[in-house]
Structure 1
Amino acid sequence: MLRRRDDATKERIQFSGRTNDEEDDETMWRWNEDSLLGVGMTEKMMRRCDDATMQRWKEYSLLGVEAMWNMVLDFWTVEKRFHMPLQICLLNVTKYYAVSQQSNSQDIKQLQISEKKPSSSIPGGSLEKKIVPIKRPDNGGTLAFRNTRLFANHFPVKFNPQSIIMHYDVDIKPNMPPGSRAAKRPISKSDLRLITDKLFSDDPTRFPELISTYDGEKNIFSAVPLPTGTFYVELSGGEDTAPRSYRFTIELVNELKVSKLNDYLRGMLSYVPREIFQGMDLVMKDNPSRHMNSVGRSFFSKEFRPNDDLGYGVAAFRGFQQSLKATAQGLALCLDSSVLALRKRLPVLDFLMEQGFQLNDVRTSRREVMREVMHVLKGLKVHVTHRLTNQKYTIAGFSDQNTRDITFTLEDREGENPPREIGLVEYFREKYNKELSYQDMPCVDLGKGNRKNYVPMEFCVLVDGQRYPKEHLDRDRALFLKQISLPRPRERKDTIYGMVRSEDGPCGKTFQCANMQNIDYPFWEGNRPDYCGHPGFQRA
């Protein structure tokens, strides 16, 4: 059995002066699921209505069973106080429903879709096949308006609609036997970038770097055809590390005609050419990604202003985020400023001192101090300075012993000398000619998995561009970060202009004129947007 009684029904029952004990079947609306008919009425209710009423009820209920049923509940619950029969109640409901349906149909007929075609804002746009939105009901906003001049952070992008972008798929694997562990180990994004740059720099004739761009994962977009197949690249791991070999497989996926993008901007194409957008967006981000720190979708400078130092080894770094947008005026580059708290590029020991630690406390290796040091440093990426390498390491932990007490078994790779036990201090003296200044401190563990790789902290430097959680900032520093993140309009405009024209920005690529090298803003040439230089300094 189902019982239906909402709060409004309860209020009506109380208003009529009846109690819950006096509620009968007509007030409580009880019915069995098996006896439900298509119009939402029970057999008992149907027997109380004549044939004409039931016929009208069925006709209108087909338009909306739930709406009709709710109206019956409302009408009859209220009107039972005045002893209105169910038959009259149903007639009132059907009349009300018929009037509302007729009113709605008249309102719909009054809505007229404008067939007037707006003027084209894109040169060469044809209005015969152009897809346009419905006209605004207020006559395009001309009933009441006021002209306001606004600066938008959108910069027009010019492109050749006849050009073709070559899209390639890239697969990079270690050159190892398929069953080995090294073959299954994933390659970091930084190594993928190094491998691709090495291939392009080794063979610049077939792999021109200036007219090709790599997304750091699986895609390469180029303005010219590139050779396909499998190539072998050797990447040096450093002074005392054997070179690593990789298989670089490149295959052509598609030839993207930029004319489709032009058709879409003119309204001649009903779908978005996403691959072309992806390729052109990657081209616009190529220069910033090479010279700036990439955090998420934003790019940040590697240097910070002196006044933006937040202390504790953290600073507010300024940058920007950009994306390509399709507008009524054509393709536009949307660029906005951004500010983020990042850790500074510091030696690990200097970073600890800015965090408030005393080196004497670290020397004593007290458990409570090392627990706090572990909380601050674990998971951060570092470079090592005792040998030449670009490899990044992640701090996994610390050694249980101080540096002077750590020993390990040294094996000769060439097999000429037998294995021998050696101390870490002596090893750095023999191998790298380095004398350790802090021998009574623990070492950081830069190993992976169960493999330990102990390195003295004095040879570790934090990698720049590592985000610092803003919730860890105190109130004053968090407020300062918020203030510089919301500059005044004029300051924000100047900042955006400066970022567009900077050496690291979208217009940062320099050009050559006669014997002059590396020419940039305020000078510009014909194949660059005019906002990349001063109007009076265009190269003839």
Structure 2
Amino acid sequence: MDSSKSALLPIARRGNGSKGQKIQLRTNHFRVAITYEDGNPVVAKGIGRKILENVQDTYKSDLGSKYFAYDGDKTLFTVGPLPANKLDFSVVLEDMSCSRGNTRSDDADRKRLRRPNKSKKFNVAITFAKQISIQAIDGALQGIETNHLQDAIRVLDVILRQNAARQGCLLVRQSFFHNDAKFFSKEHGGFYLCRGFHSSFRTTQGGLSLNMDVSSTLIVKPGPVVDFLTANQGKNRFSIDWKEAERTLKNLRVKVITTNQEYKITGLSRLPCKDQTFIWKQKKGNGEVEEEIKVFDYYKKNHDIRLHDSGDLRCINVGKPKRPTYFPMELCHLVSLQRYTKALTIFQRSNLVRESIQKPLDKRNMLNRALENCNYNDDTLLQECGVRIGSEFTQVEGHILPTPNLKVGNGKDIIPSNGRWNFNNKEFVKPVKVTGWAVVNFSVQCDPHRIVRDLIRCGKMKGMDVVLPLDVFEEGHRFKAAPGSVRVEKMFEVMKLKFRDQDWGKPEFLLCILSKNSNVYGPWKKRTLIEDGIKNQCIAPPNIVKDQYLTNVLLKINAKLGGLNSELAIERSLGIPAVMRVPTIIIGMDVSHGSPGQSDVPSISAVVSSREWPLISKYKACVRTQSPKVEMIDNLFNRVSDKVDDGIMRELLDDFKSCSGMKPDHIIVFRDGLSESQFNQVLNIELGQMKQACKFLEENWYPKFTVIIAQKKHHTRFFQERRPADNVPPGTIIDSKICHPRNNDFYLCAHAGMLGTTRPTHYHVLYDEIGFSTDDLQELVHSLSYVYQRSTTAISVDFAAFFHDKGTAMKFEDMSETSSSHGGITTSGAAPVPPMPKLNKAVATSMFFC
């Protein structure tokens, strides 16, 4: 963008929606009252917490009897000024051990001192930085934002963290977790799901509120390290994978039971304890002598400790790579309340999702008890800030939008009920004919011929003409234990010979039958979609295959082959003029990152776009790699030369023009996965790139943009007033009272919460050149939740935003291995980002991700 132009800011609210039936709700926001004196507002980690508490106790008069709110790092707050702008103190701590609450939320920053029972002297310097006024919150509530607003909110949030730290909680950003077994799930491979609570202050139309929600994190099972590893790997202690063990244990903290000292694990020894040596320095006379000794022998000789495992286990290293410090593993215990941040298997994730589910009434009761136990109104600093927190869930009024009608085959209608519908006695609106296809079976527990017969029968009922497959290919028994890539290659060798001998040409479609937790899926997708360009569908059928399962499979097949299962009635009636009567492209964007601990893995940006205007049900995906952990998409516009733009937007706009025969006049962008602090970057970086791409494509072309953020990772929940045990109905919109005082935002519960408590999506309208009315925009977002072609339920987030998640997931291979295989250095000194494997042209424009 032109740097001379002023930065764009989110637009203000234009009004509330008026459509739909009203509903009374409660939300987990608790009213915060700020009291005043004389009519004027009151002005307002690790071992560090213990040091500051000591300063506060020892030098109370020097501090003017002020209390601290300390963030655990380098910042503390007081209510009103200290006696001087610079103060210096010295304190001595006799007990150097840290309580649970003394650690910071980032594992990499946690530090434990090695000699907890010895005193140490600290010098503390407190220097005035700036004054923050609680008036900034008052101004924000009146729609007047100041530079101090976020600072004022931060002060209050730091006080909440400090409150939790004093209770010995594990702190994870604004969430806290008690060391209490009643909050732990059953053990899963050496870790627990620990329930805790999120608490943060929010400025809303109704005033300042405390948003409190049930939160969860994974924690490592405390106790012997050996027991943790055997549970984590599902092996006995004599068959532990030590390479995997080192990755799992790195940066965790252990206590050595013989000395009661705590350390952070930096690695493992290369050899077992009985063979691992180190240089033992001993005093002799006025000097030192060095002796190379085995760890096992050292403990037997020097500490009279005979290890029960005869030294067959590796040693824990708590030193530096070039100066290791080894402890026998069986003498090391993992300390409590440590986060487990390693990647989980699909099976582990599904189990944890089930255990984290809470019904609305259970969640509401748990939050009531938590707020009562936190006792915030007795906190000295909150009292000094004039803050008092209410005990009642805030009452809000929502409105339930009318359910969108759907059109299916033969002009029939479907009216969803409670966010759900089915295709019983209904045909797809645009069914395809499935010819030139084959079946590939990698599962020994499935009868593929029966699957084929039932699929043809169900397809006929849905209007799909599924002819008999060319062949059914079975995997040879000798390859079933081979790596996934080998199994796929061997299968393709067999298929190619048969197709060549029969002169069938390349198959148009492949149905791939897998067993659960198969290692074939990734290599199969890479081979079919990238190398060979064959549309395909993978299934892992249950033991009893019912028609509903087959119908769901046919939904995906029909969409992938270019068909359409259902469409919105408003698509035919052009019910939203700004979208259906003016050439409009709808775009969904997101960025996904590597698993925790994979800092060198490239991030994946995925963008999907509608392609057959005036339809808003068919999409194309574009997936690219970018620098690790970068949230802004950096390749929307990529100028290669004066005539070439290789960016994502050009690819999507060209596709829209080829399908619709014209350029779009309106561009609606849904952006997912961002926090409020990144909104301005979207407007001034990503929107700037998109406008540049349009101008580069045609100099005098100025389409109108609307940019909407879709947030799913937030902590606001809603509960029915009259039916507290039930979730809110699908289509419920909340756009008042707890929304932003100034900005244009709203909450939408588009789907039926079948499990747990419904998580609404929080939409923020940042930019709107198109000029939508509030009702039209809310209706569009709600309607987009009903056009997900592979489902017969409304989805929780708009269709475009949901499909870009599916596009992101199609990585085909482990990007960490890809990144490590590329040599060279960029001009910035960082390793170059490997490009995403390109889709074969034969499938690139299909809904392969459906």
Using the size of structure 1 for normalisation, the TM-score is 0.55
Change (3 A) 1:133 1:409: closer
Residue number in structure 2 paired with 1:309: 186
8 Å CA contact 1:396–1:444 kept in 2: the answer is: yes
Q: Which of residues 499, 507, 510 is equivalent to 2:376?
A: 507
- 2:124 aligns with one of 231, 239, 248: 248
Gaps of 5+ in 1: 1-131, 167-188, 363-368, 512-525, 534-540
Provide the rounded CA distance (Å) in 1 between the counterparts of 2:286 and 2:244. 45
Counterpart-to-counterpart distance in 2, 1:506 and 1:316: 25
Pair 1:494-2:372 in alignment: no
Cα deviation code 1:68-126 (max 9, x no counterpart): xxxxxxxxxxxxxxxxxxxxxxxxxxxxxxxxxxxxxxxxxxxxxxxxxxxxxxxxxxx
Distance 2:66 2:356 in 1: 34
Deviation at 1:247, TM superposition (A): 3.6
Query: 1 CA distance for matches of 2:146 and 2:277?
Result: 68
- Pair 1:353–1:452, CA change in 2 (3 A): same
- Tell me the residue number matched to 1:59: none
Tell me the residue number matched to 1:220: 76
CA contact (8 A) 2:274 2:297 kept: no
Q: Is the 8 A contact 1:304 1:316 kept in 2?
A: no
Distance 1:510-1:165 versus aligned 2 partners, 3 A rule? closer
1:409 pairs with 2:280: yes
1:323 — aligned with what? 200
* Correspondence for 2:502: none
Q: Say which of 383, 386, 397 aligns to 2:255.
A: 383
Structure 2 match to 1:78: none
Higher RCO by CA contacts (8 Å cutoff, separation 6 or greater): 2
- For 1:506 and 1:213, the matched residues in 2 are separated by 17
Q: Which has the higher helix share?
A: 1
Q: Does 1:481 align with 2:356?
A: no
- In the alignment, the residues of structure 1 paired with residue 151 and residue 184 of structure 2 have an alpha-carbon distance, to the nearest angstrom, of 42
Query: Match of 1:300?
Result: 177
Distance apart, 1:327 and its partner CA: 1.8
Name the % identity.
Answer: 22
**CA 1:371–1:219: 2 relative to 1, 3 Å:** closer
Deviation at 1:331, TM superposition (A): 0.8
CA shift for structure 1 position 315: 1.1
What's the counterpart of residue 419 of structure 1? 289
Are the aligned partners of 2:33 and 2:208 in contact in 1 as well (CA < 8 Å)?
yes
| Contact 2:28–2:213 (Cα < 8 Å) also in 1 | yes
Q: Is the 8 A contact 1:501 1:508 kept in 2?
A: no
- Cross-structure match for 1:394: 265
SS at match of 2:269: strand
Residue aligning to 1:437: 308
SS at match of 1:158: strand
> Structure 1 302/438 Cα, relative in aligned 2: closer, same or farther at 3 Å?
same
d(CA) in 2 for partners of 1:303, 1:254: 39
Residues 346 and 461 of structure 1 are in contact (CA less than 8 Å); yes or no, is this contact kept in structure 2?
yes
Q: 1:481–1:257: structure 2 CA closer, same or farther, 3 Å change rule?
A: same
Q: Deviations over 1:338-388 (max 9, x none)?
A: 2233222222011123122323446xxxxxx43343343334332333224
Query: Against the structure 1 CA distance between its residues 375 and 330, is the aligned structure 2 distance closer, same or farther, given a 3 Å change threshold?
Result: closer
Residue aligning to 1:289: 165
Q: 1:160 aligned to 35, 41, 51, which one? A: 35
Shift of 1:135: 6.0
Q: How is 1:149-228 mapped onto 2 (pairs within 5 angstroms)?
A: 149-161=24-36, 162=40, 164-165=42-43, 189-203=45-59, 206=62, 211-223=67-79, 225-226=81-82, 228=86
Matched, 1:257 2:104: no
Q: By how many angstroms is 1:428 displaced?
A: 4.8
> Does residue 276 in structure 1 map to residue 276 in structure 2?
no
Equivalents in 2 of 1:500, 1:219: separation in Å? 26
Are 1:232 and 2:90 matched, yes or no?
Answer: yes
Q: Cα distance 1:272–1:234, how it changes in 2: closer, same or farther (>3 A)? A: closer
Hey, what does 1:529 align to over in structure 2? 389
Q: Indicate if the aligned counterparts of 2:87 and 2:125 stay in contact, CA closer than 8 A.
A: yes
User: What is the Cα deviation at residue 508 of structure 1?
Assistant: 8.8
Q: Which amino acid aligns with 2:213?
A: D
Are the counterparts in 1 of residues 32 and 387 from structure 2 also a CA contact under 8 Å? no
Which residue number corresponds to residue 345 of structure 1? Answer: 222
Superposed, 1:64-213 pairs within 5 Å as: 136=15, 146-161=21-36, 162=40, 164-165=42-43, 189-203=45-59, 206=62, 211-213=67-69
| Distance verdict in 2 for CA 1:435–1:382, change over 3 Å | same
CA contact (8 A) 1:348 1:461 kept: yes
- The aligned amino acid for 1:216 is G
Q: 1:481 to 1:424 in 2, by over 3 A?
A: closer
The 5 A counterparts of 1:27-42 are none
8 Å Cα contact 2:189/2:231 also seen in 1 = yes
3-state SS of paired residue (1:255)? coil
Cα distance in 2, alignment partners of residues 387 and 210 from structure 1: 39
**Cα distance in structure 2, aligned partners of 1:319 and 1:209:** 33
Q: In structure 2, what is the Cα distance between the partners aligned to 1:361 and 1:495? A: 43
The superposition leaves residues 263-314 of structure 1 with CA deviations (integer Å, 9 ceiling, x where unpaired) of: 4324566666222111112112221234321234432232344872142111
Contact 2:201 2:210 in 1 (8 A): yes
The answer (yes or no) to whether the contact 1:300–1:318 under 8 Å persists in 2 is yes
Letter of the 1:149 partner, please give it: Q
Q: What secondary structure sits across from 2:151 in the alignment?
A: helix
**1:214 corresponds to which letter in structure 2?**
Y
Assess, with a 3 A threshold, how the Cα gap between structure 1 residues 483 and 292 changes in structure 2: closer, same or farther.
same
Q: What is the CA distance between 1:446 and its match in structure 2?
A: 0.8
3-state DSSP of counterpart to 2:131: strand
Report if the CA contact (8 A) 2:190-2:231 is conserved: yes
- Shift in CA distance, 451/460, structure 1 to aligned 2, threshold 3 Å: same
Could you say which residue in structure 1 is the equivalent of 2:212? Answer: 335
Q: TM-score, normalised by structure 2?
A: 0.37
Q: Does the C-alpha gap of structure 1 residues 506 and 428 become closer, same or farther in structure 2, counting only changes over 3 Å?
A: farther
Separation (CA, whole Å) in 2 of partners of 1:461 and 1:335: 34
> C-alpha offsets along residues 1-32 of structure 1, whole Å, 9 cap, x if unaligned?
xxxxxxxxxxxxxxxxxxxxxxxxxxxxxxxx
Give the corresponding residue for 1:21: none
C-alpha distance in 1, partners of 2:250/2:144?
A: 55
**Code of the aligned partner of 2:28:** N
Q: Which residue of 2 aligns with 1:186?
A: none
1:434-473 equivalences in 2 (<5 Å): 436-440=307-311, 441-469=313-341, 471-473=343-345
Paired residues of 1:165 and 1:279 also in contact (CA < 8 A): no
Q: How many angstroms does 1:432 deviate by? A: 6.4
Q: Is the 8 A contact 2:136 2:146 kept in 1?
A: no
Distance 1:331-1:430 versus aligned 2 partners, 3 A rule? farther
User: 1:497 deviation in Å?
Assistant: 1.8
SS at match of 1:311: coil
Q: Is the 8 A contact 1:342 1:468 kept in 2?
A: yes
Output the CA distance in 2 between the equivalents of 1:208 and 1:431. Answer: 53
Q: By how many angstroms is 1:244 displaced? A: 5.1
